[in-house]
């Protein structure tokens, strides 16, 4: 059987095809997605080509060495990419190893396959087994060879055809691509200043958003009598070109929010999450340290995109606990709603402990999620707590949770501001959540810690200087006088944002720091 991908393989898109699709959009007055346009184009192409294909394979049979054929018979050769040929002569075969058989000479319709000055011959009526022998019923597969199926073509080659088509459509200045849909520029409905001012008022009354375009249009009385799909598309275009409005919907959904009413932490990355990259050699990281880096799952660490992840667990660090954020790492990004063309995404965060809902934001380009401050405070989660995020039952929702237990008093490391530095002390605190013992930290004097943080930023202290300060203090809390790499990472990020790879590389490369085995470190000479 000739598969649909054989036909689709040579599928090219010409100017006439784009003209056809533009006409289709004009006729329907409805914006369409690329895959919808591809489907319509394939159907149109099939209607144009099906008669030619039927004629090409009319009365043709698939070549089978076991069968007999007459001069003048048209054959289809699967081994030559389904090219056709006509039998021009026949003779008995001459090879005692194969018994009696016939040989036919053919002339291919594709002249490139014909051998100059010599007939191309094939065995027929061959009684021995051959790789080209057909199974029972295979011959009938070509009885409807021209009946190509659009659904089958989209299934087997739709992605390739859609990608080719999108490339051609993007090159056409007369078409607009927005919210994954195409429409002729000249047919956009006008959305004037009055419409936009009304939209701002509607969003303002509704807390800034997010709201669907359809709901905004209903509130302002629409743009006219055109189909709603065209009104929505036209209004989306107008809103998208007005800085007062921010498109914040997840993939597949368009939602609008007033830019001025978005949290400042969403519009501007908080200082505690900003990282000024430093040069370091990743090649020197040991497999053990790279495993720790992967386990931490820092949003600034390199990694590969993860798909189809329903749930993942991260360890809460100081900057995220302080700001009410979570890292948008390669693993958590697979759980949180995102949108390829939208820098900010509004969604609903659900408390896995009691079901309370919080408005939250994904800040995609800066790789963090905002909106967890109330959740952290309510459950008194410590720095180092294990936080699990899972996809909610409804689209655009994420469940945030932790393993809770009855609070019990435990020894933890407490951050103690001292002048322009910090020290660490072992103190007892009541903890009601599971946590990473190597990363847990406590802080009673947040104002003091903030003051040290600001001082370090102003003085532009280097990572080496910060390590020089914290490692002895952390080491003083253990009998061995050492600090684990994860503990060092957790403490460094109290004072300045650094990913684990950068910290670990500096520990290895700088002779001031000594590894004493088991990923534990101290100052050299101590």
Residue 215 lies in a domain: yes
pLDDT of the residue at 252:
75
Mean pLDDT is lowest, of 83-87, 293-297, 305-309, for 305-309
Residues 65 and 96 sit within 8 Å (Cβ to Cβ): no
Boundary-marking domain end, from 262, 283, 299: 262
In this structure, the answer to whether residues 198 and 168 fall within a common structural domain is no
Indicate if 193 and 258 belong to the same structural domain: yes
Residue pair 157/5 in contact (Cβ under 8 Å)? The answer is yes
165-190 exposure pattern, b = at least 16 Cβ within 10 A, e = fewer: bbebbeebeebbbbbebbbbeebbbe
Q: Please report, for the domain that includes residue 81, its CATH number.
A: 2.30.30
The mean per-residue pLDDT over the stretch 483-491 comes to 97
pLDDT at 339: 67
Task: Inform me whether the pLDDT recorded for 291 exceeds 60.
Answer: yes
Write the DSSP string, 13-80.
--HHHHHHHHHHHHHHTS-EEHHHHHHHHHHHHHHHHHHHHHHHTTTEEE--TTS---TT-EEEEGGG
- Using 50, 70 and 90 to split pLDDT, how confident is the model at 145? very low
Query: Does 425 fall in a domain?
Result: no
* Same domain flag for 98 and 67: yes
Let me know whether 16 and 127 are in one domain. Answer: no
Q: Does the pLDDT value for residue 140 go beyond 70?
A: no
Same structural domain, 53 and 69: no
Looking at the structure, tell me whether residues 23 and 171 fall in a common domain.
Answer: yes
Mean pLDDT (whole number) for 282-300: 95
Q: What is the average pLDDT across 89-93?
A: 91
Q: 376 in a domain, yes or no?
A: no
If asked whether residues 94 and 216 sit together in one domain, one would say: no
CATH number of the domain at 213, please.
Answer: 1.10.10
Q: Does pTM top 0.85 for this prediction? A: no
Query: For the chain, percent helix, then strand, then coil, each to nearest 5?
Result: 40, 25, 40
Q: What whole-number distance in Å separates Cα of residue 131 and Cα of residue 79?
A: 11
Predicted confidence band of residue 293 (pLDDT cuts 50, 70, 90): very high
The SS3 assignment for 115 reads coil
CB atoms within 10 A of CB 128: 12
Q: Is there a domain that residue 109 lies in?
A: yes
- The boundaries of the domain holding residue 250 are 188-262
- 168 and 41 within one domain: yes
Are 170 and 197 found together in one domain?
A: no
pLDDT digits (tens, 9 = 90+) for 328-370: 999 999 999 886 678 899 999 999 999 999 999 999 999 999 9
Rounded Cα gap, residues 347 and 248, in angstroms: 9
HSE (side-chain half, CA atoms, 13 Å) at 341: 10
- Residue of 250, 248, 268 whose CA lies nearest to 258: 248
pLDDT exceeds cutoff 80 at 131? no
Give domain status of residue 482, yes or no.
no
Give me the pLDDT at residue 192, please. 93
pLDDT digits (tens, 9 = 90+) for 236-264: 999 999 999 999 998 778 899 999 999 99
CA distance 216 to 219: 5
Residue 112 counted as domain residue? yes
How large is the average pLDDT for residues 52-71?
Answer: 84
Residue 149 to residue 146: CA distance in whole angstroms: 9
Q: Which residue has the higher pLDDT, 137 or 474?
A: 474
Mean pLDDT of the chain: 88
Is pLDDT above 70 for 505?
Answer: yes
In total, how many domains does the chain have? 3
Q: Is the pLDDT of residue 141 over 60?
A: no
The 10s digit of each residue's pLDDT in 296-336 is 999 999 988 887 789 999 999 999 999 999 999 999 999 99
Range in 80-89, 111-120, 189-198 the model is least confident about: 111-120
In the three-class reduction of DSSP (H, G, I as helix; E, B as strand; rest coil), residue 88 is classed as strand
What pLDDT, on a 0 to 100 scale, did the predictor assign at position 1? 41
Range name among 10-14, 15-19, 278-282 with the lowest pLDDT average: 10-14
Residue 505: inside a domain: no
Name the residue with higher pLDDT: 134 or 453.
453
pLDDT of the residue at 144? 42
pLDDT digits (tens, 9 = 90+) for 436-445: 999 999 999 9
pLDDT digits (tens, 9 = 90+) for 392-408: 998 889 999 999 999 99
Confidence of residue 4 (pLDDT cuts 50, 70, 90): low
Domain finish residue from 240, 262, 284: 262
Q: Are residues 100 and 226 in the same domain?
A: no
Q: What percent of the chain has pLDDT over 70?
A: 93
Residue 483 lies in a domain: no
Sheet holding 175-178, edge to edge: 32-33, 181-184, 175-178
Q: How sure is the predictor about 57, in pLDDT bands with cuts at 50, 70 and 90?
A: confident
Same domain, residue pair 230 and 87 = no
Please check whether residues 71 and 33 belong to one and the same domain: no
Are 443 and 424 spatial neighbours (Cβ–Cβ below 8 Å)?
no
- pLDDT > 90 fraction of the chain, expressed in percent and rounded: 60
Does the pLDDT value for residue 143 go beyond 50? Answer: no
Give pLDDT, residue 139. Answer: 45
Q: Domain ends where: 243, 262, 281?
A: 262
pLDDT score at 477:
94
User: What is the DSSP track for 269-309?
Assistant: --GGG--------GGG--HHHHHHHHHHT-TTS------S-
pLDDT of residue 142: 45
- Does residue 210 have a cis bond before it (omega within 30 degrees)? yes
């Amino acid at each position: 059987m000739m598969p649909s991908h054989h036909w689709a393989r040579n599928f090219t898109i010409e100017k006439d095809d784009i003209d056809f699709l533009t006409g289709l959009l004009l006729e329907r007055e409805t914006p369409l997605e690329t895959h919808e346009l591809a489907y319509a184009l394939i159907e149109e192409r099939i209607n144009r080509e099906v008669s030619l294909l039927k004629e090409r394979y009319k009365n043709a049979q698939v070549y089978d060495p076991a069968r007999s054929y007459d001069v003048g018979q048209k054959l289809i050769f699967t081994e030559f990419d389904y090219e056709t040929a006509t039998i021009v002569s026949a003779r008995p075969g001459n090879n005692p190893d194969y018994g009696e058989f016939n040989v036919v000479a053919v002339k291919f319709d594709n002249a490139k396959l014909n051998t100059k000055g010599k007939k191309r011959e094939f065995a027929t009526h061959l009684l021995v087994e051959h790789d080209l022998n057909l199974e029972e019923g295979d011959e009938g597969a070509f009885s409807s060879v021209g009946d190509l199926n659009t659904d089958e073509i989209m299934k087997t080659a739709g992605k390739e055809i859609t990608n080719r088509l999108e490339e051609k459509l993007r090159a056409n200045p007369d078409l607009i691509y927005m919210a994954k849909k195409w429409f002729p520029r000249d047919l956009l409905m006008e959305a004037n200043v009055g419409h936009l001012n009304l939209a701002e008022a509607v969003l303002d009354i509704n807390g800034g958003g997010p709201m669907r375009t359809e709901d905004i249009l209903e509130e302002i009385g629409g743009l006219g009598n055109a189909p709603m799909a065209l009104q929505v598309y036209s209004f989306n275009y107008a809103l998208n070109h007005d800085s007062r409005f921010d498109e914040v919907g997840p993939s597949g959904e368009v939602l609008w929010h007033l830019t001025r009413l978005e949290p400042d932490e969403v519009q501007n990355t908080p200082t505690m999450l900003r990282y000024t990259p430093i040069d370091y050699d990743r090649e020197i990281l040991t497999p053990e340290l790279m495993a720790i880096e992967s386990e931490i799952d820092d949003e600034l660490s390199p990694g590969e995109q993860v798909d189809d992840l329903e749930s993942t667990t991260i360890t809460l660090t100081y900057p995220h606990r302080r700001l009410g954020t979570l890292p948008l790492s390669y693993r958590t990004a697979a759980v949180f709603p995102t949108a390829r063309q939208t820098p900010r995404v509004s969604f609903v965060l659900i408390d896995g402990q009691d079901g309370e809902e919080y408005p939250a934001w994904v800040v995609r380009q800066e790789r963090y999620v905002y909106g967890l401050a109330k959740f952290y405070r309510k459950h008194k989660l410590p720095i180092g707590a294990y936080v699990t995020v899972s996809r909610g039952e409804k689209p655009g929702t994420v469940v945030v949770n932790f393993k809770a237990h009855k609070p019990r008093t435990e020894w933890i490391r407490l951050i103690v501001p001292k002048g322009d530095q910090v020290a660490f002390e072992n103190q007892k605190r009541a903890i009601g959540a599971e946590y990473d013992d190597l990363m847990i930290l406590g802080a009673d004097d947040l104002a003091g810690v903030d003051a040290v943080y600001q001082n370090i930023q102003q003085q532009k202290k280097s990572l080496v200087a910060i390590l020089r300060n914290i490692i002895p203090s952390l080491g003083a809390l253990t009998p061995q006088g050492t600090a684990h790499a994860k503990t060092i990472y957790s403490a460094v990020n109290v004072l300045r944002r650094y990913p684990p790879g950068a910290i670990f590389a500096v520990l290895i490369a700088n002779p001031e720091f000594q590894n004493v085995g088991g990923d534990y470190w101290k100052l050299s000479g101590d």
